[in-house]
Structure 1
Amino acid sequence: MNKWYIFNKKNNYKENLKNKNISKLQALILANRDILDPKVVDSFINPSLDKLHDPYLLPDMKEAIDLIVDTMEKGESIRIFGDYDQDGISSVMTLLDGLLYFYDDISYDIPDRVMDGYGISDRMIDEAIDERVSLIITCDNGITAIEQVKKLRENGINVIVTDHHQVKKEGDSEWLRQILPDANAVINPKRLDSTYPFDDLCGAGISFKLMQALYKRLDADENYLYDLLEYVAMGTVCDIVSLTDENRIFVIEGLKRINNTYKLAIKALLDENSWNKEVTAYTLGFVIGPCMNASGRLSTAKLAVDLMLEQDSEKIITYARKLVSLNNERKDLTQEGLLKTLDIINDYKLYNDDIIIVHTPNIEESICGIIAGRIKEKYNKPSIVFTESKDRSILKGSGRSIEAYNIYKQVYVLSSMLESFGGHPMACGLSIKKDLINDFRLKLNNKSPLKECDFETIINIDARIPIEKISLEFAQSLNNFEPYGKDNPKAKFADKDLAIKSIDIIGKNKDILKLILSKNGRDINAIKFSAVEDYKYLVDKFGSNIVGSKIDAVFYPEINEFRNKKSLQLRLIDIR
């Protein structure tokens, strides 16, 4: 049974009520999300490009821009080193497109997930040296590439690192020192010496800050600069960073431009996915993003970049079809791998562990992260899924975590057991010798700080609202809080003693619960997806007397549009 809690942040609410520029509903919802600073509140309620922070507040930004300008003035070559996930692809495109406005001796390289592994590989370094590249700009990687940056510098190549991942540190809380690569400039808001106002940018967001600073220095076309937000919005949504502060502006402004895009590649991806309505954050996270991600998982992420760079319309359609096909293949492989992994977890009763660590043989290493995410959702426990790498004695894996467990911090303590490791509080990538996995599982679980309550699914409710007071206008007003995501979840409400006036289980898979709920003479349609267990729960509880029985519900009001007619309905989150 899920646990329901109504937010009780009265002091936050009172503080926000002092702000005469927002409504009581806005004051409440922002208070529940700990958004109180008047400047941040204003940026949230009235997001606009003029509220973006000064990029020169980031450490080393001036040094980086000086170096880029100097390299272009000398006519020397620049190469971008990216990553193979959606954020990495978006980061590369932000820099490529942004720099090509000024200069054409620009190239890029992205590691092959299987052959190169994560980050800057020896192949990438050797090719850059052989081809006499003058400046390397990393994006979405590089902050832990100490030896790789050293080798590049020793061979006369300048390096600018732009990254958003955790900085390596040594020492303790009394004396903590950061370990940075010896690059010409290291741009990362998570640096210990950074005073930048917002540190949860994704890789593409930091790439954009670099371009923002460059365009400011060279007094370049702002409209062209802001068109780069089409890429940044994708990276921001797909990398699941906080959808507040600058990120909220990036996504809102990026979506405006995507919905009026002149980029044939984006149009082709939407067409091949039969998406013929407004592009939203959902479209980025669950339609476009996975297609681009699939290229890096099952082929090469260069396919996605080449699609975005291509000008020939026929080739663009061919590329787009290839990405959609790869994504469909990825879905099949994921489902097959998930079933295998669940069988192993059940056979060895790994679900009893605080941290589920499982080795699933013979699956694509590129889908370990997706499967780990599904396992985490099923058991609400941190989960790490390993499989064999090209070196069969080494297992490669990905982890996904829950809010109560900083997986980066916890695994870092055991990093001496690992061949490679990187990540952030909610996810990690790692590799380990095959014969050490059981010892690693035991040690990580033995030092687990998790308590039983940490595994309970908590549903936080913004307010109790009687359903008879909910209107179409109220539902429409909630749209102003979009886009939803990390740190800005969709507002949830609850009410008690709702009479079931009618009930049906519908849909192709008979898994959609459709109800009419009634209270104080007001009837409202309600719907819940993936509701097989909920329907069974009601049947077991009430038998043939479901109609007329009463339930409590957590929900959010939404607008159902059918044949151009709008009506109010409740999207049920949980019932009891």
Structure 2
Amino acid sequence: MAKWLMYSKRADFTAMGKKYQIDPVVARILVNRDLTEDAAITAFLHPSEKDLGDGKALKDMDVAVALLQKAIKEKKKIRIIGDYDIDGIQATYILHQGLLRLGAIVDYAIPDRIEDGYGVNIRLMEKCVADGIGLVITCDNGIAAADAIAYAKEAGIEVIVTDHHEVPYEMVEGKKVYHLPPADAVVDPKREDCMYPCKKLCGAVVAWKVIWVLYEAAGIARQEAMRFMENAAFATIGDVMELVEENRTIVALGIDRLRHTKNLGMQTLIARCDLAPEDISAYHVGFVLGPCLNASGRLDSATKALELLEAEDIESAAGLAETLRQLNEERKVMTEQGVAQAIAQIEQAADADAPVLVIYLPQVHESVAGIIAGRIRERYERPTFILVDAADGNGAKGSGRSVEGFSMYDEMCKCKELFSKFGGHPMAAGLSLPVENIDAFRTAINANTQMTKEEMQTLIHIDVPMPFSYISEELIGQLERLEPFGNGNPKPVFAQKNVCILRKMPIGKQKQFLRLTLQGEDGSRMEGLYFGERTVLEEIEGERGCITITYYPQINDFRGRRSLQIVISNVC
């Protein structure tokens, strides 16, 4: 059961409202997000390109740019090695298109999820040697690929790593000793010696910074580099980066560009998903468009997603967009089946109350392990690892999804001897290990953690207790200025207690949701939608049962008729 908490931060919200020409409720939300300084509030309410960081501040950027300039001038063959998820796909696209614009001889290779696993490996580097590649540039991977990079260097290949993942380390006398790969340049904001102000960039943004600096050095207009902002924004959302500081600026500006995209493949995918371009939001990127790109790398080849982004005729774009849409539908079915198996295993397990869940589902396709881990994490409010049999028959592979306060990468480092390979972020990780080590891993990860189940409990932070009578179209319009919402910038949460249910009406294809007519304490009425478990509301006795709710207001525009309604997120 989640714990509800009310923000209690103080400020003169009325004065702030007058100063910034916003409703006091919006001012209160800004303070709840620790936005109190004038510069920070102005940047938040008015995102601008001037708030984007200078890529030259990234450590080794100068070295990487010089190497690329030299390779282009000398006509060396350049190969981009990306990744098969949204971030890796968009990063590869940015580098490929950017380097082609500069006249480079360049191609790309995306690791196969089954054959290669995540990131650079020696097989991929052997292929580079065979193909006469002179320079390899990675994106969204490479920081932990020391062996493969050492192999390439010994073969005479120059290597540039662009990544955003944690730098591998070991504990020596109680201190972290970091190990960078032996590349010619390592551009990663997570480097301890990197002074770039925003450490939370995704891989595609790091790649974009490289192209941006290269364009500047070549005298190419800034606006040409800006064309990749929509890709950088797409990847930032898709990789669930925190939408704070520069990331929020990138997404706010990038979403607007995406609504007017000139990319034929993206235009076609938007149409295939039945979306109106002008209405696209971070939600649509994260839950509609993004999963289609991801599905290509999960169930087929991520090169299909690259081919869609680089499509030059409507016929090929339409075929690729439909293929990705169908792959995503297949992925949804596989995910639902895997989630059901995971729940059944947890409910029957002797250690079902363990702080960290380690679930072994040998028959589940490895490509959906991460999605299942995320769903189970949400349901049980605990860090979750989903392990499956590797498709190549070489042990088990899996993905983890975490909760706030539990650094998945740090905790895994405490038992790294059990893994064949691992890496990731505080909130997500990937791993490979022998099947016989699974039980030992489950024991170790739970023995090492200092967090209890109670400490891992989901916290619902209520921004404002607000009666229905305060909701208006004007307020909703002002709340939209706080978008895009996502990790690090959650949608505001409003609450009202003693809400009476006057009417319930099942809706949805399976009648699994509810439309409600509600009445607040002050007698004001409001239509509401509830997409959670129907049983939660059905347990309330009688039509006039009273509940306490959290919600978000919106405008229902149906056939030209506009009305106010709320979407209920939590009930007690």
TM-score where L is the length of structure 2: 0.95
State the AA in 1 paired with 2:558: F
Pick one of 525, 529, 532 that aligns with 1:530: 532
Q: Against the structure 1 CA distance between its residues 517 and 81, is the aligned structure 2 distance closer, same or farther, given a 3 Å change threshold?
A: same
Aligned equivalents of 1:531 and 1:358: distance in 2? Answer: 24
Q: Against the structure 1 CA distance between its residues 261 and 36, is the aligned structure 2 distance closer, same or farther, given a 3 Å change threshold?
A: same
Q: Against the structure 1 CA distance between its residues 41 and 154, is the aligned structure 2 distance closer, same or farther, given a 3 Å change threshold?
A: farther
Aligned equivalents of 1:484 and 1:166: distance in 2? Answer: 25
Q: Tell me which stretches of 4 or more aligned residues in structure 1 moved more than 3 Å.
A: 16-27, 35-40, 170-177, 390-393
> Per-residue displacement from partner, 1:17-61 (whole Å, max 9, x unpaired)?
599446444442222223345433332111011210111111111
Mapping 1:502-541, distance limit 5 Å: 502-519=503-520, 520-538=522-540
Alignment partner of 1:66 is 2:66:
yes
Pick one of 549, 552, 575 that aligns with 2:548: 552
Instruction: Please name the residue that 2:443 is paired with.
Output: 442
Q: Against the structure 1 CA distance between its residues 271 and 371, is the aligned structure 2 distance closer, same or farther, given a 3 Å change threshold?
A: same
Q: Against the structure 1 CA distance between its residues 41 and 174, is the aligned structure 2 distance closer, same or farther, given a 3 Å change threshold?
A: farther
Asked if the contact 2:82–2:110 (Cα under 8 Å) also holds between the matched residues in 1, the reply is: yes
Mapping 1:353-502, distance limit 5 Å: 353-392=354-393, 394-502=395-503
Give SS of 2:115's match. Answer: coil
State the AA in 2 paired with 1:101: R
Aligned equivalents of 1:565 and 1:447: distance in 2? Answer: 57
State the AA in 2 paired with 1:43: A
Give SS of 1:557's match. Answer: strand
Alignment partner of 1:251 is 2:251:
yes
Aligned equivalents of 2:81 and 2:344: distance in 1? Answer: 39
State the AA in 1 paired with 2:335: T
Q: Against the structure 1 CA distance between its residues 22 and 146, is the aligned structure 2 distance closer, same or farther, given a 3 Å change threshold?
A: farther
Give SS of 1:453's match. Answer: coil
Aligned equivalents of 2:440 and 2:554: distance in 1? Answer: 49
In the TM superposition, residue 239 of structure 1 has moved relative to its aligned partner by: 0.3
Aligned equivalents of 1:500 and 1:387: distance in 2? Answer: 45
Instruction: Please name the residue that 1:40 is paired with.
Output: 40
State the AA in 2 paired with 1:96: H
Mapping 1:208-223, distance limit 5 Å: 208-223=208-223
Aligned equivalents of 2:570 and 2:338: distance in 1? Answer: 29
Asked if the contact 2:529–2:566 (Cα under 8 Å) also holds between the matched residues in 1, the reply is: yes
Alignment partner of 1:261 is 2:261:
yes
State the AA in 2 paired with 1:413: K
> Per-residue displacement from partner, 1:196-221 (whole Å, max 9, x unpaired)?
11110111111111112112222212
Aligned equivalents of 1:363 and 1:174: distance in 2? Answer: 39
Aligned equivalents of 1:331 and 1:531: distance in 2? Answer: 19
Aligned equivalents of 2:499 and 2:17: distance in 1? Answer: 35
Asked if the contact 1:232–1:250 (Cα under 8 Å) also holds between the matched residues in 2, the reply is: yes
State the AA in 2 paired with 1:358: I
In the TM superposition, residue 469 of structure 1 has moved relative to its aligned partner by: 1.9
In the TM superposition, residue 242 of structure 1 has moved relative to its aligned partner by: 0.7
Give SS of 1:504's match. Answer: strand
In the TM superposition, residue 76 of structure 1 has moved relative to its aligned partner by: 1.5
Give SS of 2:352's match. Answer: helix
Q: CA RMSD in A?
A: 2.1
State the AA in 2 paired with 1:32: N
Alignment partner of 1:226 is 2:222:
no
Aligned equivalents of 2:18 and 2:146: distance in 1? Answer: 47
Pick one of 558, 561, 574 that aligns with 2:570: 574
State the AA in 1 paired with 2:288: V
Aligned equivalents of 2:26 and 2:199: distance in 1? Answer: 24
State the AA in 2 paired with 1:41: I
**Percent of counterpart pairs with the same letter?**
35
Q: Against the structure 1 CA distance between its residues 174 and 408, is the aligned structure 2 distance closer, same or farther, given a 3 Å change threshold?
A: closer
In the TM superposition, residue 8 of structure 1 has moved relative to its aligned partner by: 1.7
Q: Against the structure 1 CA distance between its residues 261 and 391, is the aligned structure 2 distance closer, same or farther, given a 3 Å change threshold?
A: closer
Aligned equivalents of 2:147 and 2:459: distance in 1? Answer: 43
Asked if the contact 1:382–1:400 (Cα under 8 Å) also holds between the matched residues in 2, the reply is: yes
Asked if the contact 2:78–2:104 (Cα under 8 Å) also holds between the matched residues in 1, the reply is: no
Stretches of structure 2 lacking an aligned partner (at least 5 in a row): none
Asked if the contact 2:114–2:392 (Cα under 8 Å) also holds between the matched residues in 1, the reply is: no
Aligned equivalents of 1:386 and 1:296: distance in 2? Answer: 18
> Per-residue displacement from partner, 1:91-142 (whole Å, max 9, x unpaired)?
1011111222111411111100110111112221011112221211110001
Instruction: Please name the residue that 1:280 is paired with.
Output: 281
Aligned equivalents of 1:34 and 1:260: distance in 2? Answer: 32
Stretches of structure 1 lacking an aligned partner (at least 5 in a row): none
In the TM superposition, residue 400 of structure 1 has moved relative to its aligned partner by: 0.8
Q: Against the structure 1 CA distance between its residues 19 and 102, is the aligned structure 2 distance closer, same or farther, given a 3 Å change threshold?
A: farther
Q: Against the structure 1 CA distance between its residues 19 and 440, is the aligned structure 2 distance closer, same or farther, given a 3 Å change threshold?
A: farther
Asked if the contact 1:513–1:531 (Cα under 8 Å) also holds between the matched residues in 2, the reply is: no
In the TM superposition, residue 66 of structure 1 has moved relative to its aligned partner by: 1.3
Aligned equivalents of 1:171 and 1:182: distance in 2? Answer: 20
In the TM superposition, residue 231 of structure 1 has moved relative to its aligned partner by: 1.4
Asked if the contact 1:227–1:254 (Cα under 8 Å) also holds between the matched residues in 2, the reply is: no
Aligned equivalents of 2:473 and 2:298: distance in 1? Answer: 43
Aligned equivalents of 2:371 and 2:380: distance in 1? Answer: 15
Instruction: Please name the residue that 2:183 is paired with.
Output: 183
Instruction: Please name the residue that 2:160 is paired with.
Output: 160
Aligned equivalents of 2:332 and 2:546: distance in 1? Answer: 39
Asked if the contact 1:476–1:559 (Cα under 8 Å) also holds between the matched residues in 2, the reply is: no
Give SS of 1:167's match. Answer: coil
Q: Against the structure 1 CA distance between its residues 436 and 308, is the aligned structure 2 distance closer, same or farther, given a 3 Å change threshold?
A: same
Asked if the contact 1:97–1:228 (Cα under 8 Å) also holds between the matched residues in 2, the reply is: no
**Deviates most, 170-179 or 491-500:** 170-179
Aligned equivalents of 2:86 and 2:516: distance in 1? Answer: 39
Aligned equivalents of 1:508 and 1:198: distance in 2? Answer: 44
In the TM superposition, residue 347 of structure 1 has moved relative to its aligned partner by: 2.7
> Per-residue displacement from partner, 1:361-397 (whole Å, max 9, x unpaired)?
2221111111111111111111111111145351111
Asked if the contact 1:369–1:400 (Cα under 8 Å) also holds between the matched residues in 2, the reply is: yes
Give SS of 1:10's match. Answer: coil
In the TM superposition, residue 403 of structure 1 has moved relative to its aligned partner by: 1.1
Give SS of 1:177's match. Answer: strand
TM-score where L is the length of structure 1: 0.94
Asked if the contact 2:382–2:453 (Cα under 8 Å) also holds between the matched residues in 1, the reply is: no
State the AA in 2 paired with 1:572: I
State the AA in 2 paired with 1:368: A
Aligned equivalents of 2:6 and 2:470: distance in 1? Answer: 18
State the AA in 2 paired with 1:529: F
**Deviates most, 89-98 or 174-183:** 174-183
Instruction: Please name the residue that 2:300 is paired with.
Output: 299
Instruction: Please name the residue that 2:199 is paired with.
Output: 199
Aligned equivalents of 1:483 and 1:109: distance in 2? Answer: 32
Aligned equivalents of 2:546 and 2:214: distance in 1? Answer: 61
> Per-residue displacement from partner, 1:141-198 (whole Å, max 9, x unpaired)?
0111111111111211111111000011234697443211121211111111122111
Aligned equivalents of 2:467 and 2:78: distance in 1? Answer: 60
Aligned equivalents of 2:209 and 2:173: distance in 1? Answer: 30
The alignment of Structure 1 onto Structure 2 pairs a total of residues equal to: 569
Aligned equivalents of 2:357 and 2:391: distance in 1? Answer: 24
Alignment partner of 1:137 is 2:137:
yes
State the AA in 1 paired with 2:401: R
In the TM superposition, residue 448 of structure 1 has moved relative to its aligned partner by: 2.4
State the AA in 1 paired with 2:563: S
State the AA in 1 paired with 2:507: I
